[in-house]
Amino acid sequence: MEDKFRHKIIIDPVHGDIGLSKLETELIDTPTFQRLRGIKQLGFAYMVYPNARHSRFEHSLGVMHIMSRILESFQSKDKNVVSEEDFRKQRIAALLHDIGHYPYSHLMEKIYWGSEQKYMRKKGQSEVEDASQPKEYPKHDRLGEIVITERKDIREKLKGNDIDPKDIVAIVRGEHIEIPPLLNASLDVDRLDYLVRDSFNTGLPYGRVDLNYIVNNLELIDKEIVVRAKARSSIEHMLMGRYFMFNTVYMHKTVFAFEEMIRKIVFILWEKGKIYKSGEDIEKMARADSDEFLAFDDGYLDKLIDKHANDRTDKTLAALCRAVKLRKPPKLVYEISELTFNDSNPSGEYAVLRRGWSDKVKEFAKDANIGIPEDRWIFKDIKGPEFEKVHPFMSLAEAGKLYDSKEQVLRELVKVKKRSGEITNLLADKSSVLHYMSRLKPKLCRVYVIGIDDTKARQITEKIDEWLRPSELG
């Protein structure tokens, strides 16, 4: 590592020493960057994996470190492939890539706005005048753009070091036409850090990939990251590991349940005007040179949950908040989990559940033996992780041959450089397990109920079973 990146060293349990330049040290020391210490990387996963409390702060450092290692790896093969200036900017972009994250990462950002109602209606209903609707919350990358270009502490540090903040934003968002988009590539640096870091902090082994070997075998060809064939197994391991991490952490039934409960809480708070009502309010808050944005971390939501756990004016909100505080997640009463090939139909049960749930839940609410109101049910059709992003309309042979094409969707696949120098998409290699796994599509449907005991949960499971599989039950 060059001396200019050894102005300060931070010890990281995942990567070891992480070196920082003087500017990077100053950026990290800004109150705006320090806010990331208060945003957990994995949201509510700590409810299942108690040590999963690592924050976006150390993740951002980790991403910067991996970016740097990869760029050094490129330069070791061709010194001119990345200029010193671009090297510097890529590191800073990696450091700041998550600076706009919301409390509990993605949970608050994705309130259901119903914005599609502006554009469509149910058949037979008359047209209604556009009710004025508050502007949606900006996505975290848009918020990040505001933070980098308009918050005084970050902006002035960058400009004071001859870096245009817009340059950094463009790199983060993949909008820079001169600098390769390594933050969002097929082997992106973000994923490489979070897999390893999440694995470390949850205690699960699935994300422990051979990062060093992968990084040392990457090349930059035609602005794209390509991995040498000898590191193919490491890449396959990484992609498989990601799949297992999704199933055991990111979509763990209890983690997911808590997250859905939080989404309900956030929506109720929003309806009642207890949190920022519009995206404009959020953007204004992020821009202002005040401490309000600095307090916009997990603690912002934690305090609201604490406060409303005893809310006598809203029993539903109070019950939800108490359930979070006392670790009483919604009960999973039914789940269908399948792996099918891309062009296969899902099972009959899956189709019936998906299609019929909105009517069935009304029935259950009225059923004397169940009698649980609709707002206490959670139904989710969850998009599972794929091993590789494969276009379902292409044959693998096609996808393998089309490396040279300008087809953007193929640019997202992992590319391998063989000893011959030929570059192909990983999944086209019939000796790779990914060749077969990439055509599998996970399907996952879950039904949860809030505030019931195990006996009631079993009763409901039986009722759903009767509905979906009557012939099996006789």
Partner 1 sequence: MNKDHILLKLVLDKIGFGNLQIENFTARKILQKKIYLLQLMGIDLGYRYNWYLYGPYCPAFANDTFTLRDEIRYDDEFNNYELNSKTNSKFDKLNKIASLPDTPQINEAEWLELVASLHYLKHIAYWSGKDNPEFEEVFQKLGESKPHLAGKKKLAKVAWERLDDVGLVRKKTLE
Contact between 279 and partner 1 per CB under 8 A: no
Q: Taking the CB of residue 305, how many other CB atoms lie within 10 A of it?
A: 19
In the region spanning residues 16 to 75, those forming contacts with partner 1, defined by CB under 8 A, are none
Contact between 284 and partner 1 per CB under 8 A: no
370 or 382: CB nearest partner 1? 382
Q: Do the beta carbons of residue 197 and residue 54 sit within 8 Å?
A: yes
At 237, which helix (H) or strand (E)? Answer: helix 232-245
Selected range binding partner 1 among 27-35, 40-48, 177-185, 431-439, rule: CB under 8 A: 177-185
Minimum CB distance to partner 1, residue 412 (Å): 6
DSSP letter at 174 equals: T
Contact between 173 and partner 1 per CB under 8 A: yes
Dihedral sign from CA coordinates of 74, 79, 82, 84: positive
Selected range binding partner 1 among 219-227, 252-260, 272-280, 445-453, rule: CB under 8 A: 219-227
Binding mask 137-156 for partner 1 (x = CB under 8 A): --x-x---------------
In the region spanning residues 179 to 198, those forming contacts with partner 1, defined by CB under 8 A, are 181, 184
Phi, psi of 92 (to 5 degrees): -70, -40
The length of the chain in residues reads 474
117 or 212: CB nearest partner 1? 117
Contact between 131 and partner 1 per CB under 8 A: no
Beta strands at 415-417 and 224-228: parallel, antiparallel or unpaired: parallel
DSSP letter at 134 equals: P
Binding mask 375-414 for partner 1 (x = CB under 8 A): ------x-x-----x-xxx--------x--xxxxx-xx--
Q: Do the beta carbons of residue 384 and residue 443 sit within 8 Å?
A: yes
Contact between 175 and partner 1 per CB under 8 A: yes
Q: Report helix angle 298-308 to 253-271, nearest 10.
A: 70
Selected from 122, 312, 315, 419, the binder of partner 1 by CB under 8 A is 122
d(CA 69, CA 57): 19
Angle in degrees, CA 189, 195, 201, rounded to 5: 130
Total binding residues toward partner 1, as defined by CB under 8 A: 51
Query: For residue 179, which amino acid is it?
Result: I
Contact between 355 and partner 1 per CB under 8 A: yes
Instruction: Could you list the beta-strand ranges (E) of 245-373.
Output: 331-341
Q: Do the beta carbons of residue 219 and residue 210 sit within 8 Å?
A: no
Selected from 7, 8, 155, 166, the binder of partner 1 by CB under 8 A is 166
Q: Contact positions toward partner 1, by CB under 8 A?
A: 114-123, 127, 130, 139, 141, 164, 166-167, 169-170, 173-178, 181, 184, 222-224, 345-346, 350-351, 354-355, 381, 383, 389, 391-393, 402, 405-409, 411-412, 441
